[in-house]
Amino acid sequence: MQTKLLISSLPVIQPRKKLMLGIATAISLSIGIGVNSVALAASCENPDTLTFAIIPTEETVAELQLYKPVTDRMAELTGKKIAFFMPTSYASVVEGLLSEFVDVAVLGPYSYVIANGKDENIEVFATYAKKPGYLQEEGPGYKGVLISKKGSGLKTIADLKGKLIGLTDPGSTSGNLVPRVVFAKVIGMDIDDYFKKTVYTGSHELSTVAVHQGKVDAAFVASHRFDNVVDKGEVALEDFNVIWSSPAIPQDPFVYRSPLCEDIKANIRETFLGLKDQPDAKAFLENVKSNTFVAMTSSDYDVIRDLKKAKDARKQQGG
């Protein structure tokens, strides 16, 4: 079964009608099937098509082709058609899940906590364990790093006071939440007060390139996303100063909507957790710098919830 890619240039998301097992309710009543059978039929969703989305990166379209062995495997295991929704922001993926338009997605840790806080039916089931890289450490975690360009004279946190700083996206963990909570504790004030100005670039890759090109003085980026830009040859490791690193952050959560029928969810989990044994998925795993996926639960992201609470509290105090 092949994957159908649906590309949308705008985050206009309309809830689609699911093929619910609950459709059997009206039919059951008309032919006299018991109430218990009706309740059972309405207990889960069984759509013909599963819609999949990933948080945007600089080369999301190129990543679609790398995901194709994964989505083809998901189609084979679930027996469903797989449609791809092209988002324009972290928020558009979250809204897709909340509106029940998106069924399976890759989120950032912070955007997952936001989404799960609004709807507990958005359930994490896996993430990838990273290989070691230039700044990336081995395992299912990563770090937020503050980088500047070598030769700029900006080598310390003190050097960056009053400078232009790149952030990633309001829904980013290492590119927004961590700077505003963890790094703010380091400098003892809000980052908007410490720096001259902060700007959102749209992705970790774009932030890295912006630093290299001198468009911003420094930027907060994810360690593994920085490594990707180095691997592509767009920048060199030796071109940068690493001024600060955060504690470990759990990797990007892979999620689905929990009302899906249990056999569908089990096959979605197997799609990812069993990738290490699939030769066709080698290119995908190499792209995400991983050998395997690992199972994850909601509690694995409690550290992000704590950061969000701290950020929200700081915002209320400031307001």
The reply to whether 296 and 216 lie within a common domain is no
pLDDT value, residue 260? 98
Number of domains within the chain = 2
pLDDT value, residue 7? 35
The reply to whether 221 and 276 lie within a common domain is no
The reply to whether 83 and 217 lie within a common domain is no
Domain annotation covers residue 94: yes
**Can you tell me the distance from the alpha carbon of 71 to that of 77, in angstroms, rounded to the nearest whole number?**
10
Domain annotation covers residue 317: no
Q: Within the chain, which residues score under 70 in pLDDT?
A: 1-42, 57-63, 318-319
Q: Is 75 exposed, middle or buried (0-12, 13-18, 19+ CB in 10 A)?
A: buried
Cα 124 to the center of its chain, rounded Å: 11
Give the phi and the psi of residue 98 in degrees, each rounded to 5.
Answer: -65, -35
Domain annotation covers residue 240: yes
The reply to whether 191 and 85 lie within a common domain is no
The reply to whether 188 and 90 lie within a common domain is no
Supply angle C-alpha 231, 232, 233, rounded to 5.
90
**Domain-ending residue, one of 224, 247, 270:** 247
The reply to whether 258 and 242 lie within a common domain is no
Instruction: Find out whether 21 and 260 touch, Cβ atoms under 8 Å.
Output: no
pLDDT value, residue 286? 87
The reply to whether 166 and 221 lie within a common domain is yes
Question: Quick one: three-class SS letters along the chain?
Answer: CCCEEECCCCCCCCCCCCCEHHHHHHHHHHCCCCHHHHHHHCCCECCCEEEEEECCCCCHHHHHHHHHHHHHHHHHHHCCEEEEECCCCHHHHHHHHHCCCCCEEECCHHHHHHHHHHCCCEEEEEEEEECCCCCCCCECEECEEEEEECCCCCCCCHHHCCCEEEECCCCCHHHHHHHHHHHHHHHCCCHHHHCCEEEECCCHHHHHHHHHCCCCCEEEEEHHHHHHHHHCCCCCHHHEEEEEECCCEECCCEEEECCECHHHHHHHHHHHHCHHHCHHHHHHHHHCCEEEEEECCHHHHHHHHHHHHHHHHHHHHHC
Residue 164's domain comprises 144-247
pLDDT value, residue 38? 44
The reply to whether 222 and 298 lie within a common domain is no
Task: Please give the model's pTM, rounded to 2 decimal places.
Answer: 0.77
The reply to whether 243 and 256 lie within a common domain is no
Instruction: Find out whether 170 and 315 touch, Cβ atoms under 8 Å.
Output: no
Domain annotation covers residue 87: yes
Domain annotation covers residue 316: no
The reply to whether 33 and 68 lie within a common domain is yes
pLDDT value, residue 57? 67
The reply to whether 125 and 158 lie within a common domain is no
The reply to whether 259 and 291 lie within a common domain is yes
pLDDT value, residue 234? 93
**Domain-ending residue, one of 219, 247, 275:** 247
**Domain-ending residue, one of 198, 217, 247:** 247
pLDDT, tens digit, 9 for 90 and up, residues 166-214: 999 999 999 999 999 999 999 999 999 999 999 999 999 999 999 999 9
Question: Which CATH number covers residue 191?
Answer: 3.40.190.10
Domain annotation covers residue 191: yes
